[in-house]
């Protein structure tokens, strides 16, 4: 099966390489010429465990190609994925400029019947817009070619993207014709053979599913953060509460960890976009608005604790462990670390940070606003406190003697509740987590 994947970011690259890995003939396209040149040299633009191997293996086998020419990619293809970015516009709605530009270009270049599959996260109704772009482009060149549009939202998580793509909880496909359904069924057959279900549904419901899933996950996080803040005031321990409710199978113990707010390229943007869709239709999505409000204030919680402990922060120096919005990724988009760094700086404090992979990305975004250390312990030297911001595995069981020796004061702010307060206090540290004792 010949497949084109347009947009070679996180989603496009993972989709393209995983499809080639099961034997399909995949061409990935991107307008970013440098990215394509790098990929052709075997240099990946993102950090994603396991991806490099797959790319290398399939490029060598000739099943995976990278190009900046869309012509070449769609020529003879049965399916074309649109996997370009959909950044939030100023009002929070998803910016469809790139998606529609690609649709138009596909219409201009396609050579056979084609299923055009939107993989990017797009608001309900986008498939109709994609269809119109394609029709207009075909008409403009007097072509009688036929096509179908389909919606196939992607649920992969950065940091576990390969695993998520290869062993999905489910695959959601919104289709409008049997022919398109057949193409998608063949495409995903290698992944469904081991029991992972494909749900075929109407296009709008598929588009909606992606937003609803991210919205529910964000809701779980904000719910727990709200409860954690309350636990703190009531003298309860949110870790106990979490175990108490997580053992209820109707709730489950996933995604109910309190912390310093969600970030990344998806939750914040998708929650905003769905709220925006609601507005467009005159419906106020109250829960999601409150989910967002909690998240915004949660990003300030760690700073507030530091401030409450030290009072005036002018001239203070802090060590920060972790920068990326979550472990196993270098993605810094909407990372709580950015807000914390900003606030500390505004209060006159300085920061030395360490992150296993996200430091270049962070430097790229905020430059020398903070200093960077070559390893976790080097970040601690002379700091008034350690702030744990991202729960990378290597931070989980640190050498507390070394930490105490390096810090000016034995104070730890744990934004992810990965340490035990009682244990740390026993060792003479001042500890504060999120809603825990």
Ligand X SMILES: NC(=O)c1ccc[n+]([C@@H]2O[C@H](COP(=O)([O-])OP(=O)(O)OC[C@H]3O[C@@H](n4cnc5c(N)ncnc54)[C@H](O)[C@@H]3O)[C@@H](O)[C@H]2O)c1
Which residues of this chain interact with ligand X, rule CB under 6 A?
Answer: 6-12, 29-32, 35, 83-86, 98, 101-102, 120-121, 154, 156, 158, 265-266
Q: How far is the CB of 156 from another protein (least distance, A)?
A: 12
Q: Does 163 bind another protein (CB under 8 A)?
A: no
Out of 62, 142, 195, 282, name the contact with another protein by CB under 8 A: 282
- CA dist 301 and 435 (Å) reads 11
When the beta carbons of 68 and 290 are compared against another protein, the nearer one is 290
- Calculate ∠ Cα 375-337-119, nearest 5°: 105
Indicate the helix (H) or strand (E) that contains 33: helix 33-40
Helices (H) and strands (E) in the chain, counts: 17, 14
Rounded to an integer, what distance in angstroms lies between the CA atom of residue 63 and that of residue 83? Answer: 19
249 binds, among another protein, ligand X, none (CB under 5 to 8 A by kind): another protein
CA pair distance 135, 113, nearest whole angstrom = 13
**Quick one: which of 161, 206, 351, 389 contacts another protein (CB under 8 A)?**
206
Q: How far are the Cα atoms of 162, 216, 242, 251, 257 from residue 254, in angstroms, in the given order?
A: 20, 12, 10, 8, 8
Of the candidates 28, 266, 341, 362, the residue annotated as catalytic is: 266
The minimum distance between CB 143 and ligand X, in angstroms, equals: 20
266 is catalytic: yes
Given the rule CB under 8 A, which of 197-205, 328-336, 372-380, 382-390 is the region that contacts another protein? 197-205
Left, alpha or beta for 138 (phi > 0: left; psi -120 to 50: alpha)? alpha
58-69 burial, b at 16+ Cβ within 10 Å, e below that, comes to: bbeeebbbbbbe
Q: Is 43 in the site for another protein (CB under 8 A)?
A: no
Q: Using the structure block, give the residue that is written with the tokens 């020796």.
A: 405
- How many residues are listed for the chain in this entry? 437
Nearer to ligand X, 106 or 349 (CB): 106
- Considering beta carbons, is residue 245 or 418 the nearer one to another protein? 245
Please, what is the minimum distance in Å from the beta carbon of residue 401 to ligand X? 38
> Where along the sequence are the contacts to another protein (CB under 8 A)?
124-125, 155, 169-170, 172, 197, 199, 201-202, 204-209, 212-213, 215-217, 219-220, 222-223, 226-227, 229-231, 233-237, 240-241, 243-245, 247-252, 254-256, 274, 277-278, 281-283, 285-291, 293-294, 437
């Amino acid at each position: 099966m010949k497949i084109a994947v347009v947009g070679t970011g996180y989603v496009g690259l993972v989709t393209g390489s995983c499809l080639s890995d099961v034997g399909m003939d995949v061409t990935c396209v991107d307008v970013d010429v440098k990215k394509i040149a790098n990929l052709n040299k075997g240099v990946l633009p993102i950090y994603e465990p396991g991806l490099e191997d797959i790319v290398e293996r399939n490029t060598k086998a000739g099943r995976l190609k990278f190009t900046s020419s869309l012509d070449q990619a769609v020529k003879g293809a049965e399916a074309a994925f649109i996997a370009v970015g959909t950044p939030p516009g100023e009002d929070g709605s998803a910016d469809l400029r790139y998606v529609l530009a690609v649709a138009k270009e596909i219409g201009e270049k396609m050579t056979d019947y084609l299923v055009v599959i939107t993989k990017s996260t797009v608001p309900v109704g986008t498939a109709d817009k994609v269809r119109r772009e394609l029709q207009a482009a075909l008409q403009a060149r007097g072509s009688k070619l036929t096509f179908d549009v389909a919606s196939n939202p992607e649920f992969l998580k950065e940091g576990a993207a390969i695993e998520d793509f290869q062993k999905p909880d489910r695959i959601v496909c919104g289709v409008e014709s049997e022919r398109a359904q057949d193409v998608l069924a063949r495409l995903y057959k290698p992944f469904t053979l081991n029991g992972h279900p494909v749900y075929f549904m109407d296009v709008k419901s598929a588009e909606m599913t992606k937003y609803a899933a991210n919205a529910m996950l964000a809701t779980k996080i904000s719910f727990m953060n709200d409860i954690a803040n309350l636990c703190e005031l009531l003298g309860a321990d949110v870790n106990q509460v979490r175990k108490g409710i997580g053992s209820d199978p109707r709730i489950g113990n996933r995604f109910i960890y309190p912390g310093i707010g969600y970030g990344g390229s998806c939750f914040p943007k998708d929650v905003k976009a769905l709220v925006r869709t609601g507005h467009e239709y005159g419906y106020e999505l109250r829960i999601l608005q409150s989910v967002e409000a909690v998240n915004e204030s949660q990003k300030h919680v760690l700073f507030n604790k530091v401030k409450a402990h030290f009072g005036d922060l002018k001239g203070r120096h802090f060590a920060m462990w972790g920068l990326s919005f979550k472990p196993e990724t270098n993605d810094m988009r909407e990372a709580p670390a950015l807000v914390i760094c900003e606030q500390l700086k505004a209060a006159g404090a300085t920061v030395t940070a360490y992150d296993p992979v996200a430091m270049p990305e962070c430097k790229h975004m905020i430059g020398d606003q903070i200093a960077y250390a070559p390893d976790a312990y080097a970040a601690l030297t002379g700091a008034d406190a350690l702030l744990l911001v991202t729960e990378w595995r290597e931070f989980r069981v640190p050498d507390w003697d070394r930490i105490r020796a390096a810090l000016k004061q034995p104070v730890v702010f744990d934004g992810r509740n990965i340490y035990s307060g009682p244990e740390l206090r026993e060792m003479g540290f001042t500890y504060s987590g999120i809603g825990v004792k």
